[in-house]
Structure 1
Amino acid sequence: MKEQYYELPEDFLSDTSFCNYCKGAPEKDVRYWTNWLETHPAMAHIFREAEQLYKMIGVYDEGYQQAFARFSNEIHTTMQPRRRWLNVRNAVAAAVVLALVAVSLYYTMRPAGTTTMAQTSGPLYDTIDAGIGQVRSIRLADSTMVVLNSQSRLLIPADYNKHERKVVLAEGEAFFDVTHHANHPFTVKSKGVETRVLGTSFNVQAYTATAGMRITLLTGSVSVHTGIAPQPILLKPDEQLTITADRTYAVQRVSAARYSKWINGELNFYEESLQDITAILSSRYNVAFVFTDNRCRKELFTASFDKEVPLRKVLELLSISRNIHFAQKGDTVLINMR
């Protein structure tokens, strides 16, 4: 794999190993691309754009493999490889991706904090974005309240609440305060995981950079269909389900209220890894974090910061509590052990 072969998002998406990385398994592909990104920081913006494209394809089209099967017969006789190293099968897959690029790039590159309509071969969606450093509240048609954290995206079907109540958290973190409706469960889908409720309040964190996700229940009860557990996982108040990048899961008791303080602009971390913390800081402050020493990734921190605290102060306090050095150069922060 050579860097010059990965110049555009569709170049990544034609690589099965990269698509496995986006799905979070197998571990060897996740590890390879994590290391690749660290050693190719100049490609980070294209890499992240490719992740976004893969995610949008998965939301609307259930994955590019299905798209490939559906469209390949129609275009394989006329599609020519863009470069001599790209074989015919990958060229067709890339063409399928390009058919969806217009939609997904529109979402990726439009101004932050917007609401748009998305038309695909599937249903029509309202797309709600929270921009960098922004917390945005939305009241749905059934009076359910949703609060989106910084750099988060929610997809709402145009026919929401007519026959069913389903939304997609395509990126980021959201708090849901769901209006009770006995005959119409409320469902949130994110990273292939479905959380179903009748009426309750809970928090879902599913930033792309964290690979895994976390569901925290404040009130009521939820049933989580993970796709990996043999049965749906039932959560009670003050319980949290964590699903890791390698598709393991665990439920633990927590003080759930702590995990929704971000609604007021606070930053609160409770025994969280530095890798997950930097994903949140990246969305809040619009900077990229690069680990030059992988030993830092799993360092655990418990810390709280007031609203509008500058990044410099956050990094300073994290550095004091551990033998870790942060070096900011423009919009990139390098992390290593002292």
Structure 2
Amino acid sequence: MRACLYIKDSCIVNKATLLYLLDKFKQGLCTAEEQQLLYRWLDQLEQEAPEQALLTAEEKQQVKNSMLQHILSATAPARRRLPLPLRWVQVAAAITILAGITYLLRLQLTPKQSAWLTQQNNSTAVQRLLLPDSSLVMLGAHTTLQYTRNGRTIKLLQGKAFFDVRTNPQQPFTVESNGIHTTVLGTSFSVAAYKQLYACRVTVITGKVQVHNYGILTPAQRITIPAAERTALRDSVALPDALAWTSGTIMLRNASLQELLYMLQEQYGVTSHTQLNTQQGNYTLRLQAAMPLEQVLTIIEKISYKPKIRFRMQQHQLTVY
């Protein structure tokens, strides 16, 4: 690495450059110009403006303490103390101090371990996940979520998940989906986040759940928060219906054409095109998720009305008319 790449106007411009020079100094490989740069930086440690400093105030204090301890211990009692600021002319002292600075910089330059772990279910089968706190999660088809290392905070990025939460009164369990926070102490519930359909849908199986600013839900209650606005729809659901997907069953009740087509997309990986009004429809069906797509489409055609629909399949493109 050439000096012009890491030095600007005879100044050290970043921590990576400083660490590079410190390593060279300790190995005795610095050029005379590089040594002068280091000495100049050390002399100006006290004069740095906070917004320009390479070290924080706390780091500076640690460096100063190390400097003072080393120099006082290395100075004979009979010798006259040098006035502050001290000049950096004793190589042994400099190496000791630079070693301390290098350690501090290495701590900052080491990439921090991510606070979030990611779990993806790229299949159409339900996937089970045991969180670090022993809470159980069941991920629906094509679902992605993130969770903290203690397992008590979840981000549902896409899809749906069922949570059976281990009780911990001292540490609430929180699920965030599209800005909506659901908080519990110990219960079981499901959360769905399909941006094309709604921002968030929470269904409670057992216990009580606090959903953002929308109040408390109890068993068999559901809240759906649209993506476009925050006018929430609360209703009741049959618990077997709410849990059907966790056992590999497709369950729709009074679903719109939009919800029906989205289910086909998630379960079978098809895209759809239609000129029909997708907000219409009132579809109720219960199917096994393992059922072939052709058979599912035949059943839907038979039960559909208002509007009556037909499907035409070409490769993975589904035309609805």
Instruction: Specify the TM-score bucket, using the shorter chain as the normaliser.
Output: 0.5 to 0.7
In structure 2, relative to structure 1, the CA distance for the partners of 1:269 and 1:222 (3 Å cut) is: same
**Which position in structure 1 is the counterpart of 2:291?**
309
- CA-CA distance at 1:193 after TM superposition: 0.5
TM-score by length of 2: 0.61
CA contact (8 A) 1:132 1:286 kept: no
Match of 2:195 among 205, 208, 211: 208
Aligned-partner Cα distance in 2 for 1:241–1:122: 36
- Give the aligned residue type for 1:188: V
CA contact (8 A) 2:312 2:319 kept: yes
**Which position in structure 2 is the counterpart of 1:92?**
none
Aligned-partner Cα distance in 2 for 1:314–1:121: 48
In structure 2, relative to structure 1, the CA distance for the partners of 1:250 and 1:286 (3 Å cut) is: same
**Which position in structure 1 is the counterpart of 2:263?**
280
**Which position in structure 2 is the counterpart of 1:160?**
150
Q: Which has the larger radius of gyration?
A: 2
- CA-CA distance at 1:296 after TM superposition: 3.9
- 2:217 aligned with 1:235, yes or no? yes
Question: Which runs of structure 2 are paired with 1:100-111 in the superposition (5 Å)?
Answer: none
Question: Which runs of structure 2 are paired with 1:1-338 in the superposition (5 Å)?
Answer: 123-157=114-148, 159-161=149-151, 165-225=152-212, 231-247=213-229, 248-293=231-276, 295-322=277-304, 323-336=308-321
In structure 2, relative to structure 1, the CA distance for the partners of 1:296 and 1:319 (3 Å cut) is: farther
Q: What SS does the corresponding residue of 1:333 show, helix, strand or coil?
A: strand
Aligned-partner Cα distance in 1 for 2:319–2:198: 20
Percent identical across equivalent pairs? 29
1 or 2, which has the higher helix percentage? 1
Deviations 1:311-335 (CA, angstroms, capped at 9, x unpaired): 1122211111221111111111111
- Give the aligned residue type for 1:290: H
Deviating 4+ runs (over 4 angstroms): 120-123
Aligned-partner Cα distance in 2 for 1:150–1:311: 15
Deviations 1:85-130 (CA, angstroms, capped at 9, x unpaired): xxxxxxxxxxxxxxxxxxxxxxxxxxxxxxxxxxx99953211011
How many residue pairs match? The answer is 207
Aligned-partner Cα distance in 2 for 1:237–1:209: 26
In structure 2, relative to structure 1, the CA distance for the partners of 1:283 and 1:121 (3 Å cut) is: farther
- CA-CA distance at 1:185 after TM superposition: 0.6
CA contact (8 A) 2:198 2:224 kept: no
RMSD (Å) for aligned C-alpha atoms: 1.8
Q: What SS does the corresponding residue of 1:194 show, helix, strand or coil?
A: strand
Q: What SS does the corresponding residue of 1:283 show, helix, strand or coil?
A: helix
Aligned-partner Cα distance in 2 for 1:291–1:326: 10
CA contact (8 A) 2:177 2:199 kept: no
Aligned-partner Cα distance in 2 for 1:255–1:150: 22
- Give the aligned residue type for 1:156: Y
Aligned-partner Cα distance in 2 for 1:123–1:195: 23
CA contact (8 A) 1:137 1:145 kept: yes
Aligned-partner Cα distance in 1 for 2:150–2:207: 22
- CA-CA distance at 1:224 after TM superposition: 0.3
